[in-house]
Structure 1
Amino acid sequence: MTDETTIVPLLEPREGIPPVVENPAELARVVRAFAAGTGPVAVDAERASGYRYSGRAYLVQLRRAGAGSALIDPIRCPDLSELDAALADAEVVLHAASQDLPCLAELGFHPRALFDTELAGRLLGYERVGLGLMVENVLGLRLEKGYSAADWSTRPLPEDWLRYAALDVEVLVELRDVLYEELKATGKLAWAQEEFAAVLAHRAPAPRSDPWRRTSGIHKVRSLRGLAVVRELWTLRDGFAREADLAPGRVLPDSAIVTAALELPRTTKALTEIPPFTGRSARKHLREWLAAIGRARTLPESQLPQPSTPGDGPPPANRWMDRDPVAARRLAAARTVVTSLAEEHHMPAENLVQPDAVRRLTWEPPPVVDEETVASRLRELGAREWQIELTAGPVAKALTELEAKELG
């Protein structure tokens, strides 16, 4: 841990704020410069989460030894495939890579080798792994993090924002270098490399068939008619949001949808008594909102949505004792082992082995529980080899001892 008195504010990029790349000629110069650079490439992307409908990138930042830093406007330069080809053999350094990889892929940028500084920090047992705190604790430098939640779709981007963006990659490679040595010294480098490869190989799950069921607060809606209102309003809002490229919550918050489903307003006056419907974005569509509620109210019973059915996984853990007390005890035994091993190796339990894998294993264990069958099941559930090596034996032992106790 760095002493607070020795922390140095990082206020300006070493070469100043680079100009924003906004046309093919400028992008070609960046490609040539980064192709001629050496070593890992620090990369970051800024989105407009909470402001825009899509998760696209609105600024891409890069830094490499010998090339300096670059800021690319992906609205003006939406194809980074030439940069991707130029850096095909380079290790890409990202912080919380899973957040940025999808929007980089949309631009044609696909890292082949990855170092994720956040994930490395987790494996090393750092308690707080945000970029600012990692830079502070590891390098003794303080980053300004005031613009992380800004609307990066803003144009032109203010100078302070650009300075912040450039600083986000300014020392990312230096952070990577220190963490690399720490991983090597603690025997965790191979584990980290498996994790980085898994991040790169991950593919997003297929879209949900009923995405409206994820409306926050929907559990309050008990009637099928109310669920129909949620479905109609959610679908209508999604269309407005997509068309306007606004985050859906900026068109109409989930709380308004749920309240309308509970109250079933019949008139514009009743609808506007629900405060969010009087907001600027929502007020433009009062007639459409009311019509959607009317459609839901008059749907035939056969067309009403049914309560959600359980997925293919186990129920929530807090229901296990009622549903299957033996499985609940298996889960508790396995969690105790995982927690102990995680403490021994100085990392969060969820990084030692995925909690969902532990739940699925203990809800439906193999017919014969031993180290080999537990390892096979964990592998099926997506656990990495290093995780299996550390956990399969101890978990199998705990489960067999529990089974013997239950039978005895």
Structure 2
Amino acid sequence: MENEKKFSYQVIDTESKLKDFAKTLEGEADIAADLEADSMYHFKEKVCLLQMATPKANVIIDPLQVRDLSPLIPFFKRHDIRKILHGADYDIRSLHRDFSIEINNLFDTQIACRFLGYRETGLEAVLQRRFSITLDKKYQRKNWSQRPLPADMMEYAAKDAIYLVSLANALEKELEAKGRVSWVHEECDELTKVRAETSNGNLLCLRFKGAGRLRPRRLGILESLLHFRQDIAEKKDRPVFKILGNDSLLGISKLKPVSLRELERTKTLSRKQVNMYGDGLVECVRTALEIPEKDLPVYPRKKGPVLSPKVPARVNSLKRWRNMKAQELE
């Protein structure tokens, strides 16, 4: 295993460099990848760095400089090249959303760790356990859209991908010894199908936790508040949660304040938030209260078969059997 302090990486910030790197992937059996995004800092999140590593190369691709990553698409899609990621769900969604990249032949090292019974499956914990390598995660929530990026942040990013090939090989040997390789492949194949959620003109409240418990009138208020928050967040280019929190909007939807004084009494907002957004929030409530009953949103309910009273007992029995089998497999 390479010493964690002795490694180098290439920054790819032009189309010509990207095309040259893509040519080197032709004969590779493994490609490791990771990414950094800016969901904590902007209204629309985006991939800000794409780190890729092979046994021969370690690169950091800057998508803010190189907008067209199409030279990489064929290699991510090929079935004869293993793509190694750790906790790949978010990465798969983001790469497809921003660059139309689809991934085949995925080996998710976090999924592998779970099937091996690891209690801690974060990359930092796994690398420490397997290779005694310590990753400093202090930059995980930093603003990766800033340019130029400090050298220590670039080095942090490079380290996330460089160890994945060695880690995957070590984990696969463990899986083979336990006869669980096919389990991981099955889960990984299913994971490659995930995609980023899109509203597609649907109600915003349908993706809001807790909305399903609201009656139509309160749901209508919530929908109005969500649009208000989204408009402000888009104008300010900030994440919606940094404008107004979900708990605040849910509380306002339930209490239905129609004046600033009533809004203050709900104690759902800080004084600063009331001063900044109070008038708009109250107007949202007033407008939603005037919506005719027939036009109010209704949270869709899934209609399923009527279950026998014996079903809960059967489910609990199956859970006990599952837990017993899980303990046997550890």
Q: Same-fold call, TM > 0.5? A: yes
Whether the 8 Å contact between 2:42 and 2:237 is mirrored in structure 1 is yes
Q: Which residue of 2 aligns with 1:366?
A: none
Would you say 1:326 and 2:310 are equivalent positions? yes
Q: What is residue 17 of structure 2 aligned with on the other side? A: 26
**What is the RMSD computed on CA atoms of the aligned residues?**
2.9
Aligned length: 324
Give the secondary structure class of the aligned counterpart of 1:344.
Answer: helix
Correspondence 1:296-307 to 2 at 5 A: 296-306=288-298
Q: Aligned ranges for residues 63-142 of structure 1 at < 5 Å?
A: 63-66=53-56, 68-86=57-75, 88=78, 89-105=80-96, 106-142=98-134
Between the aligned partners of 1:153 and 1:276, the Cα distance in structure 2 is 30
Q: 2:38 aligns with which of 45, 48, 66?
A: 48
| TM superposition shift of 1:44 | 0.2
Going from structure 1 to structure 2, the CA distance change for 1:200 and 1:326 (only over 3 Å counts) comes to: same
Structure 1 residue 139 displacement after superposition: 1.7
Moved over 6 A (4+): none
Match of 1:232 in 2: 224
Partner of 2:169: 177
Q: Aligned partners of 1:206 and 1:27: how far apart in 2?
A: 29
Once residues 170 and 23 of structure 2 are traced to their aligned partners in structure 1, the CA distance between those partners, rounded to angstroms, is 28
Q: Which residue of 215, 218, 233 corresponds with 2:208?
A: 215
Flag structure 1 segments of 5+ consecutive residues without an equivalent. Answer: 1-7, 316-322, 347-408
Question: Structure 2 CA distance, aligned partners of 1:267 and 1:276?
Answer: 14
State percent identity of aligned pairs: 25
Q: Would you say the 8 A contact 2:252–2:268 is kept in 1?
A: no
2:47 is matched with which residue? 57
Distance 1:153 1:312 in 2: 44
DSSP-derived class of the 1:61 partner: strand
Distance 1:206-1:345 versus aligned 2 partners, 3 A rule: farther
8 Å CA contact 1:225–1:297 kept in 2: the answer is yes
- Change in CA separation of 1:59 and 1:277 when aligned onto 2, cut-off 3 Å: same
Counterpart of 1:311, as a letter, is K
Per chain length, whose mean CA-contact separation is higher, i.e. which structure has more relative contact order (CA < 8 Å, sep 6+)?
Answer: 2
* Amino acid in structure 2 at the alignment position of 1:48: D
Q: Does 2:330 align with 1:340?
A: no
Q: Which runs of 5+ in 2 are unaligned?
A: none
TM-score of the superposition, structure 2-length normalised? 0.86
Is this contact kept in 2: 1:114–1:196, CA < 8 A?
yes
**Which residue of structure 2 aligns with residue 267 of structure 1?**
259
d(CA) in 2 for partners of 1:257 and 1:13? 50
In our comparison, the structure showing a higher alpha carbon Rg is 1
Deviation of the 1:234 alpha carbon: 1.0
Aligned-pair CA distance for 1:324? 4.8
